Chain A
Amino acid sequence: MNYDFQFGAVFAAWPLLLQGTWTTIELSFLAMVLGLGVAIACAWGKTAGPAPLRFVINAYIELIRNTPFLVQLFFFFFALPALGLRWSAHTAALTAMVVNLGAYATEIIRAGIESIPKGQIEAGLALSLKRHEIFRFVILKPALKAIYPALTSQFILLMLSSSVVSVISADDLTSVAANLQSQTFRSFEIYIVVAVIYLALAMGFSALFRQIYRRTLNYPDRR
């Protein structure tokens, strides 16, 4: 191997890389919050809604979980604008991520709701709590504890798969890398550095999530 590694050009572009990293974090975080909103609504509809609504939600979940994120992204970025919807690459990317995460997180949240023993809910009813109060005070926190590992690893998967939005140039970390690549032709060095950044993000977030768990959800329960 007689290749002369030149990381100079990559490190010289550190403000761009930093900005790309920030965009990736921002996109993932926004998608997570909005996607969880979608998922909570869908999980509620799926457990308590009328049959037609349940059918629609199930169709949404199956459709999203059985098609690639890249194709969903193309759908939002190319197909919907053809119907007259005008939006930026950034918004299209965020929408695709929210729609994608919503489907996966619905199943996770439903599993969380179902993990609550029936007796707990009946106890809430016996205390004449209203339905939303039971959800808020009886179901939410233990359910959150039950699904916390699945939910946090879903967030990390989402952040990693967000690199795909670079194909529509949504300014994320991988887009920055692709731009740098076309300017400096140092593709190998750039992608190594960017892969290391993603690895650091994934490890950093999973350490952060462990800390949050230890501080807020680490209470003893029956299990």
Chain B
Amino acid sequence: MRTFGFNEFWFIVEAARWTIALSLIAFAGGAIGGLLVALGRTAQSLWAQRAAGAFIQIFQGTPLLLQLFLIFFGAPVLGIDINPWVAAGAALVLNSSAFLGEIWRGCIQAIPRGQWEAAEALSLSYVARMRDVILPQAFKIALPPTVGYMVQIIKGTSLAAIIGFTEVTRAGQIINNATFQPLLVFSVVAAIYFVLCWPLSLLAARMERRQARALAR
């Protein structure tokens, strides 16, 4: 039986790059998807509103774990070859699209009516109105909750361990199976997540406070 030494410790730490990579993919994809969802929810077309609403309802109303299972077990059924990387990435992107979309919808709707009307009065097209008037202002409001949501994404990547993707949690399980020192192993795993997430949490809280102060003025 192996004991928990530096090599074992390093194996878990090194797996953090896959956690980080998966988080970045989920965030990048989720940002694109989330923008589409938020624009859909705030669009004039009833059809777009309903489609985006249904998307949010489905992905916020079912567990992330099941979304992961459905993609991982469902893709082969549809004739698509899939590995844990793609399945985890796809599930996390779809899930974050729904959550970020809902966060950003609120931010877009928080922009005062007058701004929309002014843009319309200047006869700006939809693209120009969104790109030059609404979204830059919404972006400022959206920053703190978005940074906060990144913490949720990082924590969410741990579920990829269940379908066999070797990120931090799975690396911890592997080492635990070899060393039988769960207390030590899972403390290290938890510490790695903490080191990744805590700075983001602090940053989000600081941004939120600063914004609250700016609004109170």
Which A residues, 49 to 83, have Cβ-Cβ distances below 8 Å to chain B?
62-63, 65-72, 74-75, 78-80, 82-83
Count of A interface residues, CB-CB < 8 Å = 38
- Smallest Cβ-Cβ distance to A2: which chain B residue: B79
Is B110 part of the contact surface with A, judged by Cβ < 8 Å?
Answer: no
In the complex, how many angstroms separate the beta carbon of B70 from the nearest chain A beta carbon? 5
User: Which of B161, B182, B193, B197 touches A78 (beta carbons < 8 Å)?
Assistant: B182
Known: A65-B201, A70-B161, A83-B183. A174 touches B77 (CB 8 A): no
Known: A3-B77, A67-B193, A167-B162. A78 touches B65 (CB 8 A): no
Q: Looking at B57, B151, B193, which has the most chain A CB atoms within 10 Å of its CB?
A: B193
User: Which of B61, B154, B176, B185 touches A198 (beta carbons < 8 Å)?
Assistant: B61
Please determine whether B189 and A71 come into contact, CB atoms closer than 8 angstroms.
yes
Please determine whether A192 and B70 come into contact, CB atoms closer than 8 angstroms.
yes
In the complex, how many angstroms separate the beta carbon of A177 from the nearest chain B beta carbon? 8
A10 vs B182: C-alpha distance when bound (angstroms): 36
A198 vs B64: C-alpha distance when bound (angstroms): 11
Known: A63-B194, A67-B193. A199 touches B186 (CB 8 A): no
User: Which of B63, B79, B155, B173 touches A67 (beta carbons < 8 Å)?
Assistant: B155
Q: Which residues of A contact B44 (CB under 8 A)?
A: none
Q: Which residues of A contact B187 (CB under 8 A)?
A: 75, 79
Q: Which residues of A contact B173 (CB under 8 A)?
A: 74
Is A41 part of the contact surface with B, judged by Cβ < 8 Å?
Answer: no
Q: Which residues of A contact B189 (CB under 8 A)?
A: 71, 74
In the complex, how many angstroms separate the beta carbon of B174 from the nearest chain A beta carbon? 12
Which of A11-19, A124-132, A156-164 lies at the interface with chain B?
A: A156-164
Please determine whether B66 and A194 come into contact, CB atoms closer than 8 angstroms.
yes
Give B62-102 as 1s and 0s: 1 = Cβ < 8 Å from A's Cβ atoms.
11111101100110011100000000000000000000000
Give A152-183 as 1s and 0s: 1 = Cβ < 8 Å from B's Cβ atoms.
00000000111110110000001000000100
**B residues in contact (CB < 8 Å) with A:** 57-58, 60-67, 69-70, 73-74, 77-79, 151, 154-159, 161-162, 169, 172-173, 176, 180-183, 185-187, 189-190, 193-194, 197-198, 201
